[in-house]
Structure 1
Amino acid sequence: MKSITRIQLSFMMFLEFFIWGAWFVTLGTFLGKNLAATGLESASVFSTQSYGAIIAPFIIGLIADKYFNAERILGILHLIGAALMFMMYKSESVATFYPYVFGYMVGYMPTLALVNSVSFRQMKDPEKEFSNIRVWGTVGWILAGLSISYLFHWDSEEAIRAGALKNTFAMAGIASLILGLYSFTLPKTPPIKDGKKNDSIASLLGLDAIKLLANRNFLIFFVSAILICIPLAFYYQNAHPFLEETGLPNVTGKMAIGQISEALFILALPVFFKRFGFKKTILVGMLAWAVRYTLFAYGNSGELAFMLILGIALHGICYDFFFVSGQIYTDQQAGEQYKSAAQGLVTLATYGVGMLIGFWIAGIISDTYKEAANKWQMIWMIPAGIALVVAILFTLLFRDTKKQAA
């Protein structure tokens, strides 16, 4: 790959995830503190991510893959996203905020696949080259969080009361506008003409791979992946409001530790995976969720602040050891014919169905315990219990064969 192309793709990834990290991390606090949202109202807003994940295959499969260059669709979606971000910035109630965030997520989620498509098409050896490009996305997310806490101080208690968190939407909107315009300068990525391509709705949604569920082990993994997304949804929806309420300073910046951890543990994953096999690796990821939420339940911003920081830092193990390992396992089990379809099916099930269920359960639990003296302890111990149960069932039911371990 040419150096100029590598720089172009790296900056694209940086902006793509800077945009997401600029507003999504603080969204829960903004909804509760500035829009007075209930737990269920927050759940409905966060669920737009899942609706976007469900709708995304149609946009990619029916439009980008068949008619238009990927970089042009990427640019158009981000320009529309910039306008919607401005409307989110102007919104003063959940009722007016919701349609804009829904429209935004339906447009943003497909861009996650589009930036990958643009990148892969420029690579001769994606397995070696992609990680060096994708890591700049993690850098973008981290820098967004550090900017909010340490540069602009929008997440301090006084700033939140003054409504400063709405500025995160302005920052994300400006970055979206830049990426929208910049996308038209990216390498040309036209649709691949393939007369043998299956254009059925089932194929676009990854449902061609549903026959893999006849494999008992894959079925157990598939169900476990959906269920473990319930605890994941609790983190996205409640972590920032919880850490703010405990009095931990510079919360958004400290939550960036999770992305630093993610970048580090993804480097350790191949070694762990090769040495211990799929079952033990993914089991560590499941148990890490239970440990993380237990640390949140009993930590505080005083002498036990290290428990909160450790809980944030466990994000690398929680995410990489389960979700990235799951992607590798899915790729192994699918075979050449169904590789893309299988990944699409798992993504639809996890980020679509699994997290949709998780956000609503998190909303119900938050409303149930909002007046309780130990509300946060209960809000965290429930998903910790769910993760532990899923880990136990996975341990008992999944059989790690020698071939899979190798």
Structure 2
Amino acid sequence: MHSITRIKLSIMMFLEFFIWGAWFVTLGTFLGNNLKASDLESASVFSTQSFGAIIAPFIIGMIADKYFNAERILGILHLVGAVLMYQMYQSTEVGTFYPYVFAYMVAYMPTLALVNSVSFRQMKNPEKEFSTIRVWGTLGWIAAGLSISYIFHWDSAEGIGQGLLRNTFLMAGVASAILGVYSFLLPKTPPVKSEGSSSVSEILGLDAIKLLKSRDFLIFFLASVLICIPLAFYYQNANPFLTDVGLENPTGKMTIGQISEVLFLLLLPVFFSKYGFKKTILVGMVAWAVRYVLFAYGNAGELSFMLIIGIALHGICYDFFFVSGQIYTDARAGEKYKSSAQGLVTLATYGVGMLIGFWVAGYIGEYYRGAGAENLWQSIWLVPAGIAAVVALLFLLLFRDQKTPKAEVPAFEPETDRSPAVTSLP
């Protein structure tokens, strides 16, 4: 790949995930402090990610892949996103904020697949080249978090008190406008002409539903959906929790999670080959329970190390479960159903599983606040800890670790890249 093309794609990836990291991490804190949203109202807002993820495959699979250049659609969607971000920046109540964030998620989620499409089409050897491009997306996400905490101080007690968190939408909107214009300068990526047309069932991965006839794959599938409930608690509550307990620069410190993803992904092939799928995925499940126990009993004072360890466990939580699950799915599906199987699992997890998880988190938060819980956050975090522990126990007892064909660990693609909208992902 030409060096100029590599630079262009790296900038594209950096901006793509800078935009997401610039507002999504602090969304829960913004909703509670700026818009005075209840837990259920916050759940409704976070659920737009799942709805966007469910809708996005249709945009990519039935429109973008067939009729338009990927870079042009990418540009248009980000320009639309910039306008919607500005509307979110101006919103003063949840009722006016919700339609804009819903429309934004429908526009943004397809871009996760589009940046991959633009990248892959320029590569001669994606297995070796993609990771060096994709890592700039992680750097963009980290840069956004560090900027919020250490440059602008929008998530400080003073900043939150002055309502400065709303500026995160303005920052994301400016970045979205820049990427929207910049996308038209990217290498041309015309649609690939193929015989026939993709059916709805193929796009959503429903062709692979027959794999659920296998008892072990069914258990893994159900465990994947259920473990997304604790994951939703993290997205929805982590930043508000860290802010409430008084941890300094919470958004910046949460980037430790992305750094740990990179590190643990490097260890995953060794662990996976030595201990097998079942033990690897169990470690991931147990890590979810451990991190929430650490959140439940840690504080911003002398026990702040427990909060930091809980954040750092994100690499194990995500890589050891979700990436291992992708490897397992790839191996069990066989050549015929590989793409469909990955689509089915991602749709069920980030579409259905996360949707359930956001609402469970909302109801739990609402319940304990209404009950006047003495240790509110401890009560909240022990719920996902218990869910993760139960899922791990059931998986341990019911899943048989049969030998599967060897599958390669995929190129580095951190959590922020995995979504049912990303139909081109393995």
Using structure 1 for the length normalisation, give the TM-score: 0.98
Q: Match for residue 116 of structure 2? A: 116
The offset of 1:402, in angstroms, is: 3.0
SS in 2 for 1:192: coil
Residues 276 and 405 of structure 1 are in contact (CA less than 8 Å); yes or no, is this contact kept in structure 2?
Answer: no
The offset of 1:124, in angstroms, is: 2.0
Task: State percent identity of aligned pairs.
Answer: 77
Residues 88 and 97 of structure 1 are in contact (CA less than 8 Å); yes or no, is this contact kept in structure 2?
Answer: yes
Q: Match for residue 11 of structure 1? A: 11
Consecutive unaligned residues of structure 2, counting only runs of 5 or more, are 408-426
Alpha-carbon separation, structure 1, partners of 2:327 and 2:102: 31
Q: Match for residue 84 of structure 2? A: 84
Residues 277 and 405 of structure 1 are in contact (CA less than 8 Å); yes or no, is this contact kept in structure 2?
Answer: no
Alignment length (residue pairs) = 405
Deviations 1:342-378 (A, max 9, x none): 1111111011000000000000000111131111111
Q: Match for residue 356 of structure 1? A: 355
Mapping of residues 7-406 of structure 1, within 5 Å = 7-196=7-196, 198-370=197-369, 371-403=372-404
Alpha-carbon separation, structure 2, partners of 1:70 and 1:239: 34
Deviations 1:154-211 (A, max 9, x none): 0011110110000000000011011111111111111111114x42111111111111
Residues 86 and 173 of structure 2 are in contact (CA less than 8 Å); yes or no, is this contact kept in structure 1?
Answer: yes
Alpha-carbon separation, structure 1, partners of 2:352 and 2:155: 31
Segment of structure 1 superposing worse, 80-89 or 204-213? 204-213
The offset of 1:381, in angstroms, is: 0.4
Alpha-carbon separation, structure 2, partners of 1:147 and 1:394: 40
Residues 332 and 404 of structure 2 are in contact (CA less than 8 Å); yes or no, is this contact kept in structure 1?
Answer: no
AA partner of residue 392 (structure 1): L
SS in 1 for 2:404: helix
Segment of structure 1 superposing worse, 136-145 or 327-336? 327-336
Deviant stretches of 4+, over 4 Å: none
Residues 202 and 208 of structure 1 are in contact (CA less than 8 Å); yes or no, is this contact kept in structure 2?
Answer: yes
The offset of 1:256, in angstroms, is: 0.6
Alpha-carbon separation, structure 2, partners of 1:403 and 1:209: 17
Consecutive unaligned residues of structure 1, counting only runs of 5 or more, are none
Deviations 1:63-82 (A, max 9, x none): 11111111111111100000
Alpha-carbon separation, structure 1, partners of 2:268 and 2:71: 31
Alpha-carbon separation, structure 2, partners of 1:38 and 1:402: 47
AA partner of residue 381 (structure 1): L
Alpha-carbon separation, structure 2, partners of 1:40 and 1:232: 17
AA partner of residue 180 (structure 1): G
Segment of structure 1 superposing worse, 359-368 or 261-270? 261-270
Residues 331 and 404 of structure 2 are in contact (CA less than 8 Å); yes or no, is this contact kept in structure 1?
Answer: no
Alpha-carbon separation, structure 2, partners of 1:93 and 1:352: 26
SS in 2 for 1:181: helix
Alpha-carbon separation, structure 1, partners of 2:392 and 2:250: 29
Using structure 2 for the length normalisation, give the TM-score: 0.93
